[in-house]
Amino acid sequence: MVKINGEDCNAAGMLLSDYLKENGYKLVRIAVERNGEIVPKAMYDQTLLADGDALEVVSFVGGG
Amino acid sequence: MDKNTNIPSKEEIEAALELRHTKAVQEKIRHAAVAVCGLGGLGSHIAISLARCGIGRLHLIDFDRVDLTNLNRQQYGIEQLGRPKPEALREELLAFHPYLDIQTDFVKLSEENLSELLAEETYICEAFDVPEQKAMITNYVLEHMPEKYLVGASGMAGYGNSNAIRTRKILSHYYLCGDGVSEKNEHQGLMAPRVMLCAAHQANMILELIIRDET
């Protein structure tokens, strides 16, 4: 199991970029934290999600 | 009534701040440097809060000019319409603390100039309006400037539901304020009370980091 935004997901073995695409995230509006570290944008398609990972996908909305 | 021209000295203002905040706290605030990126509804109120605290140094950055549609929630006046926001805001702050150290930059932040423009400040407020800009600065600072502390915001449009606005720690050096979901769109706009709530969360988090001083 991978914990993403507080929920258990069946995403172990998936590439981060595939997970984000499948779940409709707009890549230019997000920041991704994995196990306490920022994931550089250039690494999204090289980051393999592993069992026990904890992720937070921050999806920014307009207004300020 | 005549304007009061009897301006207090820097020492008198510092003494008044120490009286309110305590000497130990004021000592930390006086030595802190904060960059505010975006001077709209969030940034203008963050800057006011930190300036009222007597912050050591403020760096105000925005590429926009004051517009009539800003006045529902941003800390500007009619006489400042058309003026660049950084210098208009600087004026507002100096009106209650004439000795503040304020740097202004009338420029659009991008991946090309972030490193240079944010080099001096330990604490950075992301107070942009556009989600792509919020993501850009957040990714850049966390990736390339890991020694900085970043306090950002997402989700503060509309009215009511005050308690949904909160501050969350995302990473050791990154905090995010807002309700995370209320976006500005054709159904709901940005209104002063909720934007000010979110701005107060950001300023309060910055202040906590400064006083906790883990740098």
Structure confidence by residue, pLDDT tens digits, B30-68: 999 999 999 999 999 999 999 999 999 999 999 999 999
Measure Cα distances from B53 to B30, B34, B72, B189 in Å: 9, 12, 24, 30
Residue B36 in tokens: 């505010």
Q: Which residue has the tokens 């720690």?
A: B169
The single-letter DSSP state of residue A9 is E
Phi, psi at residue B203, to the nearest 5°? -65, -40
Domains (ranges, CATH) in chain A?
2-59 (3.10.20.30)
Contacts of B204 (CB under 8 A, 6+ apart): B49, B167
| pLDDT of res. B1 | 57
Buried b / exposed e across B47-77, counting CB within 10 Å, b at 16+? bbbbbebbbbbbbbbbebebeeebeebbbbe
Residue B37 maps to which CATH number? 3.40.50.720
The ranges of chain B with pLDDT < 50 are none
Cα–Cα distance measured from residue B200 to residue A31, given in angstroms and rounded to the nearest whole number: 23
Residue B119 in tokens: 């080099």
Cβ-nearest to A38 among B143, B182, B184: B143
Q: Which of residues 8-47 of A touch B (CB under 8 A)?
A: 28-31, 33, 36-38, 40-41
ipTM reported for the complex surpasses 0.90: yes
Quote the number of domains for chain B. 1
Give residue-wise pLDDT tens across range B4-25. 778 999 999 999 999 999 999 9
∠ CA B39-B40-B46, rounded to 5°: 65
Q: Residue A7: pLDDT above 60? A: yes
Whether B2 is covered by a domain: the verdict is: no
Q: Which residue has the tokens 């999204």?
A: A44
Contact A56 B170 (CB under 8 A): yes
Whether B1 is covered by a domain: the verdict is: no
Whether B56 is covered by a domain: the verdict is: yes
CB B64, CB B83: distance < 8 Å: no
Contact A62 B41 (CB under 8 A): no
Pick the residue from chain A with its C-alpha nearest to B172. Answer: A36
Whether B51 is covered by a domain: the verdict is: yes
Rg (CA), chain A: 11
Residue A14 C-alpha, separation from nearest chain B C-alpha, in angstroms: 22
Q: Can you give the residue range of the structural domain that contains B28?
A: 10-212
